[in-house]
Amino acid sequence: MSATTIETAKLPNDTGNGGRIWRIFPRTSPRTFSLGDVVFFRPKSAKEDGKRGTVVEPMPDAKDHVWVEFWESGDTNNGNRRKKYVSCKRLVPVFTQSHGDQSIILTPDTIPYRHLAASQICETDDVLEIGCSTGEASVILCRYGRSWVGFDSSNDMIETSSAALQKMDLKILRHACKMDALSDPKRAMDVARKFNPKGPAAVFLDIGGNREEKGVLEMMSWVLESFPQVKVLVVKSREVVKDISSTISNKDNSSSDVIEDYGVVRNGSTWFHAKMESVNTTKLPRHPLQAPLVMSPLDATKPVCRYHNYDPKGCKKAANCPLDHEHCHLCLEKGHRAVNCSSTSSNKTGQKRKALYDEVT
């Protein structure tokens, strides 16, 4: 893959997303390509590497094929190039960072998720994969990126994905780790920066099999708050795509909310913030141990005591308890317990937690 900076086709500037371009991929309508579009050509065999190129001669009379000019790895603007007449079905648009905007791409299914894994990163990108599972997407990401860090909440999945990568013998910096970023955000941020102190350039998120929509949205929020430099966030979640699609279709001005040709969702950030506020109202657990494990902001090895925070009578061990009794389990501030916390939404709670972690680090 070429590390050459690539310009994408012109996108509408008025997306109303505050520096973020939200997309749904793939769109239901047939994809058409325009002159100058940057595309990724999918090979027929999974053992072959795909290639990036630029549409140089669209064919109006044959919309299912276009002429694409490809370049080889290490190619420059004036290097060796090869032009080929290819089927549009084999092409994936490259949604690289445009005008400094972040690309947030939502997809409902596994196949397009893997297509995005191959097409949206290049050999200079550090990648974080949340929910690496059995490693199918991990292998693709490691084939095209510079470094890879994989999170999964299951030890079995970590072992399986690591074994899959070992078989491929890919020459890439990689690290797999059992991790739930929502339970231990400080440690997750540190591990995600293992190969780059600035953090990942691309994040791929697929935890839909283990979490409801709320968990996916919270993880998206954690990524966007923790790594503002991320150029692309790809999320596989049928529920999230269904939700944002139904929200758009229920509006009277739905035609202005989706730009079909590029799958861009206008006002995607507005939808996201409203969704976080509406679905993430904090509910106290029925039992203290039903609350997620949260580590102390002062000691990454010491959990915040859940009995102290949620049991009406407090922790029975009191001063003899080895856990953190100083910080609120919800907002991580001192001076009160979670049952008396004024935080009303987990989105605000996440922002408070991140601010505290930033102060400590």
Percent residues over pLDDT 90 in the chain: 42
312 & 233 share domain: no
Tell me, yes or no, whether 335 lies in a domain: yes
**Average pLDDT, integer, range 327-342:** 88
Tell me, yes or no, whether 4 lies in a domain: no
214 & 253 share domain: yes
121 & 220 share domain: yes
| Residue burial 336-353, b: 16+ Cβ < 10 Å; e: rest | ebbeebebeebbbbbebb
End residue of a domain, out of 228, 243, 277: 277
Tell me, yes or no, whether 295 lies in a domain: yes
Query: pLDDT at residue 264 above 60?
Result: yes
Higher pLDDT, 299 or 60: 299
Query: pLDDT at residue 254 above 90?
Result: no
Tell me, yes or no, whether 166 lies in a domain: yes
List own/partner pairs for 166-170 with CB under 8 A and 24 or more apart. 168/139, 168/142, 168/143, 170/139, 170/142, 170/143
Instruction: Tell me the pLDDT tens digit for each residue of 12-47.
Output: 444 445 578 899 998 766 677 888 889 999 888 767
Token couple for 145 = 């990126």
Tell me, yes or no, whether 129 lies in a domain: yes
End residue of a domain, out of 277, 300, 315: 277
The two beta strands, 147-152 and 81-87, are unpaired
Distance between terminal CA atoms of the chain? 36
Instruction: Tell me the pLDDT tens digit for each residue of 39-72.
Output: 999 888 767 788 889 999 877 665 688 999 987 6
239 & 339 share domain: no
CA torsion angle for 335, 218, 145, 47 (degrees, to 10)? 140
Tell me, yes or no, whether 253 lies in a domain: yes
Look at the chain and report how many structural domains it folds into: 2
The domain of 293 spans 288-360
Task: State the CATH number of the domain containing residue 201.
Answer: 3.40.50.150
Instruction: Tell me the pLDDT tens digit for each residue of 87-126.
Output: 888 999 998 655 567 899 999 999 999 999 999 998 899 9
**Confidence at residue 71, expressed as pLDDT on a 0 to 100 scale:** 72
Mean pLDDT over the full length of the chain: 81
3-state secondary structure of 150: strand
**Average pLDDT, integer, range 260-278:** 80
Higher pLDDT, 243 or 97: 243
Tell me, yes or no, whether 334 lies in a domain: yes
252 & 332 share domain: no
**Confidence at residue 3, expressed as pLDDT on a 0 to 100 scale:** 30
332 & 351 share domain: yes
224 & 155 share domain: yes
Nearest partner of 361 among 125, 187, 176, judged by Cα: 187
257 & 175 share domain: yes
Query: pLDDT at residue 174 above 80?
Result: yes
113 & 167 share domain: yes
What residues form DSSP beta bridges with 318?
none
Q: Residues near 126 by Cβ (< 8 Å), separated by ≥ 6?
A: 145, 146, 147, 148, 149, 195, 196, 199, 200, 201, 202
Query: pLDDT at residue 84 above 80?
Result: yes
111 & 258 share domain: yes
314 & 335 share domain: yes
End residue of a domain, out of 258, 277, 296: 277
326 & 219 share domain: no
Higher pLDDT, 149 or 249: 149
Higher pLDDT, 331 or 107: 107
Tell me, yes or no, whether 89 lies in a domain: no
